[in-house]
Structure 1
Amino acid sequence: MATHRAQRRARACRIRPGQRHSADRWFAGAGRQRWQHHAQPRRWRNIRGFQSPRPYFAGRCRRQPSGQSDSRRAGWRARRLANRRRDDPTIRTSGREYSGMSTLRQPADSDDKATFLERLIFNHRPAVIFLCLLTSVFLFWQALQVRPSTSFEKMIPLSHPFVQNMMKHRNDLGNLGNTVRISVEAVDGDIFSKAYMETLRQISDEVFYIPGVDRSGLKSLWSPSVRWTEVTEEGFAGGEVIPQSYDGSDASLDQLRNNVLKSGQVGRLVANDFRSSIIDVPLQESYPDPADQGKLLALDYQQFSHQLEDKIRDKYQAQNPTIKIHIVGFAKKVGDLIDGLFMVVMFFGIAFLITLVLLIWFTRCIRSTVAVLSTTLIAVIWQLGLMHVVGFGIDPYSMLVPFLIFAIGISHGVQKINGIALQSGAADNALTAARRTFRQLFLPGMIAILADAVGFITLLIIDIGVIRELAIGASIGVAVIVFTNLILLPVAISYVGISKRAISRSKQDAVSEHPFWRLLSNFASAKVAPASIALAVLAFGGGLWYSQNLKIGDLDQGAPELRPDSRYNQDNAFIINHYSTSSDVLVVMVKTPPEGCSAYSTLSAINELAWKMENTQGVQSAISLVTVSKQVIKGMNEGNLKWESLSRNKDVLNNSIARADGLYNTDCSLAPLLVFLYDHKAETLDRAVHAVQDFARQNDKPDMQFLLAAGNAGIEAATNEVIKQSELVILILVYICVAGMCMITFRSWAATLCIVLPLVLTSVLGNALMAFMGIGVKVATLPVVALGVGIGVDYGIYIYSRLESFLRAGLPLQEAYYQTLKSTGKAVLFTGLCLAIGVCTWIFSAIKFQADMGLMLTFMLLWNMFGALWLLPALARFLIKPEKMAGKVGNSLFSH
């Protein structure tokens, strides 16, 4: 009987046999059920448990007026209803009437409605899973080969003029940019004891044979190059500080004490209180392989740091409890960072467990939870494997990337699971729900991932190797999320499905009233939105004003990347307090023609610059060729202090610098001025660099130039300048790229502003937080600002794309936002809280810069989530006209 009735309708409507009637096609959409009595002409239909007017094309076939399409008529009715509500506030649609809107207007699941990509993926699901499994096995093996890879050159801006000058004259400077200083302290007494000197000799010999040490430049009291000089009645006398006749007797120790006093090494190699001495250890970036002398090995900072601990500190402090060893230097700091950063594995495990528990609570489904975590872990494995394939390793800064990939993957995975759960209530099976979710969320997810990738790629403009590797690694990571979380996850769910408990809960949520979401929907109301905008403007102004206190570079002494109570910073504080030469050295290179460094005009200019630097705040002392020349000239005149000055006689000057080893190069065309600083704080470096630059502008000549800079302080100054120049440029580029992606996607400047403005507020408040917490903008923190924008844009894109669909369905703004919160908003809220809880564990890390990153990322995740939920609807209230969108298909990418 029903078949006969359908045939009659088909003949009346003149449709071909086998073609479905429009009513059948409409009821085949998501969330609609068709019973046999629907063929009868009835005025009202019961759709998903609520009463609503029958669609104009359901039931009997009605002829369309000429030139008027279904979408135009539907749009006209929706706009008329919206205008009536606007004119008459008493006309209000209950939440129950729209409780099913999350599944309305879904396309049918037939292949004629599916895109080519959807058909390619879901019609070949076994092949997709097999390819992903095969790729995972290969990249897992590659990920196991990843090793820490940190070099001195990767952590400095190689194109900066300071660094280029240093690299050009690197052989003449004797590795002044990369040295380690080992201080051996006598706990009881002073250094003039037989036991102490024997231990110092053993340590010097042990360090001499550590791979990577530049043996020709190693210097300690036992080095033959450390000499003493005095003036006697017969002329100059001198020799090695520790002579060949030294035997440890009291007489030889007394002689050693006298030699040290005559050597001028007090405050340099010997502490001012004579309770410790230093071993200067210059390093080579590459050294011959002990097993194959024809092969060069790159210096492994982690291994070198371990050798210093095992072979030097632990060994000799255990053998001789009366000594204590302190070690500072770039290589030791990086080694400690790498050791401490492996704690990120522990924090990653904690974040994984927290995410697991919260996902089970959120989804009420073990299968979907395992699917999300598995595909996200696969993304992390792929990222690490691909990093090894392209030749990159892990450094102290790129260790952040796997956690970022995990966070972004969880964000997209939760959206997918949430969408599948919503669709499962109306779909016949898991495959149908997965396909509908893929169709609905693939494009928003793809746009969000592209925005992430573009934000990461902008970091490539910073000319620092570790930041560029971080940018490439993060871009690779977000690219693999497309395959693992946007493609593999829906395919996996199409097999395992969602638990009945989760589906039942999703159905109940679809028809239930939620007081919490209803409360949050007031952010889109006409009363609350103006207050929200005003509050946001005040927060923006306050954050912008306070962020003026944000500094570039390090703000603390020692290694700010480490905790103040770390062993390295304690060692650094010991050396600063007991020596006249700190570990922070700024080297000014004075360049002249060959044989020109000993000219009086050159030495006089160096002497004037040294005096100026020693009177600059933050400078401890300065040493140059002039220092030695004055001492020798004074000695040549019976030690009379009146003669402690430069001579205009060329022969006298040449003779006075003959023994100034290391303070000029072989052809006397370069003479370094070593400026020792109390610390390498940004303000200290700025004062020192500006003093040298001012002097150079006034005294540079064609035959004499003052070049900056070598030494660790010079490199820090160059790095600070690069970061200062790049900070604002990166933010501008990130926002231009993100805004461009949003504009291309939604083709609406209003939508773009709704998504981007909350991110701008987050960046401003993030800078204010850094200034308040005393965190400077440096290599470790600059990427977090850009990465925070990339992570935050996901929330805005998902929320606005869903809000737009409800507005085009004819809902008022507040009601549309309420439905958005019920579907997508809860996933955004859950993701932000879940990831923030996981990241905040980093705050307890022993590595300070990791704790700083944890604090900043926690703030970024929470505020981006809050900004998307709070500020986006408030902006939409002023920028978007729902009555103009009602019933229109729209021109955004999500409408096609």
Structure 2
Amino acid sequence: MWRRIARFILSYRIALSVILLGITIYMGFMAPHVQLSYEYASLLPKKDTVYQENQDFIKKFGAGSDVIVIGVQDSNFFNIDHFNRWDEMAAELKKIDGVEGMLSVANAYDIYKDRKAHKFKFDSIFPSRAQSQEQLDTLVEKLHTLPFYKGQLYNEKTHTYMMAITVSKALMATPKREKMVNQIQEVGNQFEADTGVKVHYSGMPYIRVVTSQKIKREFLMFILAALAVVIIILFSFFRSFKAVILPVTVVLIGVIWTLGLMAILGYKITLLTGMIPPLLIVIGVPNCIFLVNKYHNEYKGHGNKVKALQRTIMKIGNATFLTNLTTASGFATFLVTSSSILREFGLIASVNIMAVFMTSLIIIPTAFTFLEPPADKDMRHLDNNFIGKIIDKFVYVTQNHRQGIYIAFIVILLLSIVGITRIKSTGYMVDDLPKDDPIYLDLKFFEKNFDGLMPLEISIDTERPNGVLRTSNLKKIDEFSTALSQYKDLSPSLSLVNVLKFAKQAFYNGKEKYYSLPSYREQSFIFSYVGKSEGKIGDLKSFVDSTKQETRISFRMKDVGTTRMDDLLSRIRKEAAKIFPPDKYHVSVTGASVVFVKGTQYLVKSLFQSLGLAILLIATFMALMFNSRRMVFLSLVPNVIPLLFTAGIMGFTGIPIKASTILVFSIAFGISVDNTIHFLAKYRQELRLTNWNIGKSVVLALRETGFSMIYTSFVLFFGFGIFSLSSFGGTVALGILVSLTLLVALISNLILLPALLLALQRRATTRYFEEPFLEIFDEEEDIEQDELRIEGRDKNGNLLSETDEKDKTIDE
């Protein structure tokens, strides 16, 4: 098959190049249309119970998460100058496009009883601008008599104050969200400059926008960094601009195709999909290295350019196709998950990995047909003394110290198992951000002073119309809310009970001692006032459904992580079961915090399944390639040990298992097995040439493939290393851990795999290994020269063709 492919590529190289150019132009036209995601991708499948409960809750009560919060800690907050400046800031924020409303102590309202109209009225506690310190002090005393706001808008003990800004949900779905957030920050920065008081920002919309801005900046940075790394490494190895420009051209086409395909499919750039272009650069360059290396090696051996190119395609094309197939398979396993973000990542990555392979197989040989034959200086890298000495060391160790190799790897394996037992699994909303990042610091500010910001919602279904308004049920809700408010990770509750307590206090002329749940007798009077009232008290839709059968209790909570969250949810459900018997009530615990935690757990579980599927799939490919169960086992050993080693390192260093770190294993395994395929493919070719001399074949395979394995591993190691420059902890962990895994895999494939082959001899290398289901090109088989004509014209315009053993310069 590869004889025909080689002949086809070289014979129709112009047409294939034109097709590639056309596709690239189209993809380049589509690429600018790809958008940046500003939403947290849904990690849960739509059929999941937790997801459905949250969607049902949103339909009844609204999302309640489109709020940006601003906070300050100021012991002089109620100094007239500071307070008026805070009030002015609120007025400035209201003018920003996309800001729909806000609530803070400056515009907090009080409720008054209108006896004549039998309804409640509302009035701001503070005027638009305080006229004197005396007046302000009096009004502050009034504020402190209203428990409704304590813990919600201010913390008197720590002198912290919060402003909740409701933003337009429609605007948040457009690019204007960045401008809105930037304007909010500008207003806050001016307040800081005027008062000297630090302003803190948080809230789900704010975190999403600022995080997306970081992703946008890093997206371009990683592409440029990946290109810089591969250019430096390629030039260091080959010392030839041709050997640098061609691979860079191939991977740049891959980047354009990636962005174009994302735009066509409507996928957005997320923290995960944003890594695909630099990943393709890093993963695509090794294809080019193997092709260039083989071309130079072949040409150096016989001096015929056409023969060198066709043999390069036939020998390296097949092996490289299989290595790219295994790498793509590692990513493609994400397609079987129910997580949309993983499916998008898996599809784009796997398709474009194969596209980059096909592009390299066309562009590299085609370009070399038009270029001068490689000069001696272009092929000096084949005699790289430094790399050669390293390979000689590996050969010596595998031949003379196999027992030491086994002992070393057994020790590594045992230590890895010990480390694995120490691994913890957890995930936080902002755990990908460094501890000194402003987003992280501001979130911790609100957690410390207001018990967090992550929404936790509890819905209580009384299972009968008007059941919420029954006195017995209101008492149960109050008891439940009071019990949960004692939890250190939860804020004070906000529910219908709080509103009724506020209304009762107003009914008794604002006396603080009456801030309590109305009695049965008091309810009739208070509800009659509430029913006639307008605004926040009269409209209870955000707390009670239309049938008054179901109500909500809202909390804010700290970002406690998945482990503590499970314990917290368990305690909440036990508390609910004690107060609300399950046979009479249905209590649902939901909200963005619950969905995020369950989504993270689901994602980790899916990634474990994907890793298992990747190992199974790649093992199947190995079985088809080598037709030997023993050889499949031998090929997996040097690639599984690095995974265990990395997992052990995670355990010893305290790096937890979470979505970003478990991703390491599927990616690293799919890539590291490439070296195994190249080595075993060459090993089988040498077996035929050496008349089944296993020892000699191992050494020859190691000497030829060792150069390319080391070159490509250098690219991969430093290429993935660029992700350590990220401001996202998960991306940093991905880069460091994948680089570490690939480095260990390189050593394992260069030392352990040859040692096992030499030790097991005929027990592993059976005759079945010689006759695979998927044939890899036989070293001795060539295309007949009269079957292949690469035509061109010489400098005088005469038609010439390259069909003999002499090289001719071809000018098209």
**TM-score past 0.5 threshold:** yes
Q: Is the 8 A contact 1:829 1:865 kept in 2?
A: yes
Q: Is the 8 A contact 1:172 1:670 kept in 2?
A: no
Letter in 1 for 2:368: I
Q: Is the 8 A contact 1:453 1:475 kept in 2?
A: yes
CA distance in 1, matches of 2:493, 2:609: 37
Cα shift at 1:206? 4.2
CA distance in 2, matches of 1:276, 1:615: 20
CA distance in 2, matches of 1:685, 1:183: 25
Secondary structure of 1:544's aligned partner: helix
Q: Is the 8 A contact 1:680 1:716 kept in 2?
A: no
Could you say if the C-alpha distance between residues 523 and 620 of structure 1 is closer, same or farther in structure 2, counting changes exceeding 3 Å?
farther
Secondary structure of 1:476's aligned partner: helix
Q: 1:419 aligns with which of 266, 271, 294?
A: 294
Report whether the alignment pairs 1:549 with 2:422. Answer: yes
Q: 2:671 aligns with which of 791, 801, 811?
A: 791
Could you say if the C-alpha distance between residues 496 and 882 of structure 1 is closer, same or farther in structure 2, counting changes exceeding 3 Å?
farther
Letter in 2 for 1:313: G
Q: Is the 8 A contact 2:395 2:699 kept in 1?
A: yes
Secondary structure of 2:155's aligned partner: coil
Q: 1:559 aligns with which of 424, 427, 430?
A: 430
Letter in 2 for 1:322: G
Give the corresponding residue for 2:606.
726
Q: 2:162 aligns with which of 278, 282, 305?
A: 278
Q: 1:750 aligns with which of 603, 611, 630?
A: 630
Secondary structure of 2:460's aligned partner: strand
Could you say if the C-alpha distance between residues 181 and 551 of structure 1 is closer, same or farther in structure 2, counting changes exceeding 3 Å?
farther
Could you say if the C-alpha distance between residues 830 and 633 of structure 1 is closer, same or farther in structure 2, counting changes exceeding 3 Å?
same
Give the corresponding residue for 1:740.
620
Give the corresponding residue for 1:815.
696
Secondary structure of 2:468's aligned partner: coil
Letter in 2 for 1:572: L
CA distance in 1, matches of 2:486, 2:729: 33
Secondary structure of 1:115's aligned partner: helix
Deviations 1:601-638 (A, max 9, x none): 53344344435534556445444334455566688789
Give the corresponding residue for 2:705.
824
CA distance in 2, matches of 1:866, 1:307: 53
Deviations 1:88-143 (A, max 9, x none): xxxxxxxxxxxxxxxxxxxxxxxxx9633222211111112222222222222322
Give the corresponding residue for 1:97.
none
Report whether the alignment pairs 1:706 with 2:593. Answer: no
Give the corresponding residue for 2:327.
452
Secondary structure of 1:190's aligned partner: coil
Secondary structure of 2:220's aligned partner: helix
Q: Percent identity?
A: 18
Give the corresponding residue for 1:309.
185
CA distance in 1, matches of 2:113, 2:676: 76
Q: TM-score, normalised by structure 2?
A: 0.84
Give the corresponding residue for 2:798.
none
Q: Is the 8 A contact 2:254 2:356 kept in 1?
A: yes
Q: Is the 8 A contact 2:333 2:614 kept in 1?
A: yes
Report whether the alignment pairs 1:602 with 2:457. Answer: no
Report whether the alignment pairs 1:499 with 2:374. Answer: yes
Q: Cα RMSD over matched residues?
A: 3.6
Provide structure 1 residue ranges, at least 5 long, that are not aligned to the other structure: 1-112, 289-296
Secondary structure of 2:298's aligned partner: helix
Query: Which of 647-656 and 765-774 deviates more?
Result: 647-656
Give the corresponding residue for 1:254.
137
CA distance in 2, matches of 1:155, 1:301: 23
Cα shift at 1:340? 2.5
Deviations 1:695-742 (A, max 9, x none): 45664546521112113x222222233134324212211111111222
Letter in 1 for 2:391: W
Give the corresponding residue for 1:105.
none
Deviations 1:523-554 (A, max 9, x none): 544x6344434433443343233223333333
Cα shift at 1:855? 1.6
Q: TM-score, normalised by structure 1?
A: 0.77
Give the corresponding residue for 2:795.
none
Could you say if the C-alpha distance between residues 641 and 242 of structure 1 is closer, same or farther in structure 2, counting changes exceeding 3 Å?
closer
CA distance in 1, matches of 2:728, 2:47: 29
Q: 1:136 aligns with which of 12, 15, 24?
A: 24
Secondary structure of 2:435's aligned partner: coil
Could you say if the C-alpha distance between residues 754 and 377 of structure 1 is closer, same or farther in structure 2, counting changes exceeding 3 Å?
farther
Q: Is the 8 A contact 1:463 1:722 kept in 2?
A: no
- How many residues in Structure 1 have an aligned counterpart in Structure 2? 761
Report whether the alignment pairs 1:263 with 2:151. Answer: no
Give the corresponding residue for 2:548.
668
Give the corresponding residue for 1:467.
342
CA distance in 2, matches of 1:197, 1:603: 37
Deviations 1:359-394 (A, max 9, x none): 122223321222122212221221122211222221
Report whether the alignment pairs 1:590 with 2:460. Answer: yes
Give the corresponding residue for 1:199.
85
Deviations 1:194-238 (A, max 9, x none): 44344333433444454555x26x4233546x4367999xx9998
CA distance in 2, matches of 1:632, 1:504: 87
CA distance in 2, matches of 1:825, 1:444: 15
Q: Is the 8 A contact 1:563 1:569 kept in 2?
A: yes
Secondary structure of 1:426's aligned partner: helix
Q: Is the 8 A contact 1:347 1:841 kept in 2?
A: yes
Cα shift at 1:589? 1.8
Provide structure 2 residue ranges, at least 5 long, that are not aligned to the other structure: 531-536, 778-812
Report whether the alignment pairs 1:572 with 2:443. Answer: yes
Which is greater in Rg? 1
Deviations 1:774-801 (A, max 9, x none): 4333444343332222222222211221
Give the corresponding residue for 2:209.
335
Letter in 2 for 1:598: L
Cα shift at 1:346? 2.8
Secondary structure of 1:169's aligned partner: helix
CA distance in 1, matches of 2:477, 2:277: 50
CA distance in 2, matches of 1:350, 1:642: 65
Give the corresponding residue for 1:13.
none
Deviations 1:481-536 (A, max 9, x none): 122123322222233255312565377679x99543232124544x6344434433
Secondary structure of 1:395's aligned partner: coil
Q: Is the 8 A contact 2:42 2:341 kept in 1?
A: yes
- More helix by proportion, 1 or 2? 2
Could you say if the C-alpha distance between residues 839 and 454 of structure 1 is closer, same or farther in structure 2, counting changes exceeding 3 Å?
closer
Could you say if the C-alpha distance between residues 529 and 609 of structure 1 is closer, same or farther in structure 2, counting changes exceeding 3 Å?
farther
Report whether the alignment pairs 1:369 with 2:241. Answer: no
Give the corresponding residue for 1:850.
731
